[in-house]
Structure 1
Amino acid sequence: MEMTLLKVHGSMNTFYMFEGEEHEDYAQLAIQLSSIDQDIDGILVILPSTIAHAKMRVFNTDGSEASMCGNGLRCVARFVCERDGVTEAVIETMKASLHVKKEETLNDKIETYAVEISPISFALNSLPMSYLSNSEWLHKPLPFISEEIPFSAVSVPNPHLIGIVPAALQKDTSHQQKWAHYFNEENNYFSDGVNVSYVTPIENGIFVRTYERGVGFTNACGTAMTASALISCLAGLVPYGDVTVYNPGGMVKCAVSKTEDTIRLQLTGNATYLSVVKFNWSSSGENSCILSTEPLDEQTDYKEFIEQVTTLSSQFV
């Protein structure tokens, strides 16, 4: 079956994106595409919805399905808004229907979208995480890892374990690699695995590096950046409001607001189209191949933008 795919990225979190039908085996397609193109972090499938403008499903490179993807949602938001001729829409995801909208471009050239990140839970059983008899874990060391690193657990709705670390642990990723790999194999703490982010405060914001469940180290993870901004606000590292979040793939803005018991999160950043790809898909994978690739020119503008904004984070990447 011949398919037309868009290769896209949000903060260099890269995917193939396309409109599809619910019945197809997209887990197998994700595995096939990632074996052919190792630059991608998964696929974004845009489906019809009875309750929203569209439905998004996200499949990682190992075929597992993610409940949400903030960077991917921005790309889906752009596609749906342009397709339907609107500037705001609602996208159905696994756990919630989320509001998305077109924003002013980051530098007069880069397509920019803001997306709601929800639901939010600090309950360990929402990740799930099991550690002694605790029901929450916020800004406290996990002694079996380190007495020096405060960790927090939160689902948004993807599960995240977030550590606040010194710059040395950003430059040398072996510590993060060791524990993230451990937590995403059979272990006593995270039965379904977990996204592990290390966060370091820097001038005017935070730097976040994420080991993504089902993927490994990634240029950026939208829900991880948003969860990291939230934890940084709760810990008093940055003020509530718009938090600038740098990552190996670029920069985003995460809006964090808290009133009494209500927390609202919004992620704003690029939604960049890289190329239009013709792909032949066979269920067996025997004849699956890329037939043609038509590059687009949007990445040039994104690279110029990143060169301007990543001076502060260049020490880590």
Structure 2
Amino acid sequence: MVKLLKVHGSENKFFILDQTLLENELNDIELKNLAINLCKNILNGADGLLVIDTSENCLGKMRVINADGSEAKMCGNGLRTVSRYLSEKYQLDQFKVETLESDLSVQKAPDFYSGVPAFSVEISPISFKKTDLPFSYKDLDEMINEEIPEFIPEEKFSAVAVPNPHLISFVSDIQHDALNDLGQKLNSTNDYFPEGVNISFAKILDENKLFVQTFERGVGFTNACGTGMSATSLVFALLHPEQFDSNKDITVYNPGGMVRTNVKLNPIKELSEIRLIGNATFTHNLEISEDALHQNQLDDLNVEETGEEKDYQSFIKSIKE
């Protein structure tokens, strides 16, 4: 029998499949079809499937298959949950995880709340170059605090890859319909972001305190986007130095809860450092035969709740009080 996990970071929900425990690994087509099925039909769905493979240089390798079957370069919220899984599997608190673009350092962090384990993960590499996002707009080589009336009149936008591509706008009020419209536009065939882009609207609440809502490429609206909150924190530090204290973490609220980010700016902005710190919650254990997994037949899943979601909801209640 094969064991899977249902997990979340700030209610950004995933299934975890550890392929190193299988007799025969799933091929890419099988993984895509499994991700679509799991994320649409099982336990009220999820935003993606996190696949753990062996790595030559790290404790493990993480692949991120989105709900639509596409593959993302990285996932900050997902990386925290994979880090917890590997930490418990190998009894280590600090190590590296291989992702498609880079090997990232991760470490166990103090619990966010009783029964709410947390991990701190590196977010990198960073690039503002149009070729790395990619984007095309007039003669811009970088898009930093630019008015783009074709997107939304009178709003300013910044684009950064971490390494997932992100478009960020600091707004006075987060308008769900406007974010949805722009997300649909830039993730359909368009002249600006030919490969699509994650879009975050951010509201500055106070010094080192933000609220971020993200429309995620390949998913749509998510409760939270780890790389989106990380990218937004970096742009916040660059553009709003009067409200950024470099000696403290940034608190980032989102529809699914709250994370912290730590930003260390470098005069060469691509060499800045970002860490994402937040919960790594396991909500369900699932069990199925390996043959059924290969056949993408999920009717005979055995599911057991862990009880951790109750603790997470207590944490959410505590930060709202």
Q: Equivalent residue for 1:315?
A: none
Shift of 1:17: 0.4
Unaligned runs of 5+ in 1: 312-317
The one-letter code matched in structure 2 to 1:145 is: F
Structure 1 window deviating more from structure 2 (221-230 vs 33-42): it is: 33-42
Q: Equivalent residue for 2:285?
A: 276
Q: Is the 8 A contact 1:10 1:270 kept in 2?
A: yes
Q: Is the 8 A contact 2:40 2:46 kept in 1?
A: no
Q: Equivalent residue for 2:252?
A: 245
Where has structure 1 moved over 6 Å in runs of 4 or more?
A: none
Q: Distance in 1 between matches of 2:2 and 2:191?
A: 42
- TM-score calculated relative to the size of structure 2: 0.91
- TM-score calculated relative to the size of structure 1: 0.92
Q: Distance in 2 between matches of 1:97 and 1:29?
A: 26
Aligned runs of 1:83-102 on 2, under 5 Å? 83-102=89-108
Q: Is the 8 A contact 1:251 1:310 kept in 2?
A: no
Q: Distance in 1 between matches of 2:194 and 2:183?
A: 13
Q: CA RMSD in A?
A: 1.5
Q: Distance in 2 between matches of 1:217 and 1:128?
A: 21
Q: Equivalent residue for 1:223?
A: 227
The one-letter code matched in structure 2 to 1:99 is: S
Q: Distance in 2 between matches of 1:290 and 1:23?
A: 19
Q: Is the 8 A contact 2:198 2:216 kept in 1?
A: yes
Count of residues paired in the alignment: 306
Q: Is the 8 A contact 1:279 1:289 kept in 2?
A: no
1:14–1:290 distance in 2 versus 1, CA, 3 Å: farther
1:177 paired to 2:180: yes
Q: Is the 8 A contact 1:161 1:197 kept in 2?
A: yes
The one-letter code matched in structure 1 to 2:225 is: C
Q: Equivalent residue for 2:10?
A: 11
Q: Distance in 1 between matches of 2:295 and 2:190?
A: 33
Unaligned runs of 5+ in 2: none
Q: Distance in 2 between matches of 1:40 and 1:147?
A: 33
Q: Is the 8 A contact 1:250 1:310 kept in 2?
A: no
Shift of 1:23: 5.0
Shift of 1:289: 2.5
The one-letter code matched in structure 2 to 1:67 is: K
Q: Distance in 2 between matches of 1:246 and 1:279?
A: 36
1:40 paired to 2:46: yes
1:295 paired to 2:295: no
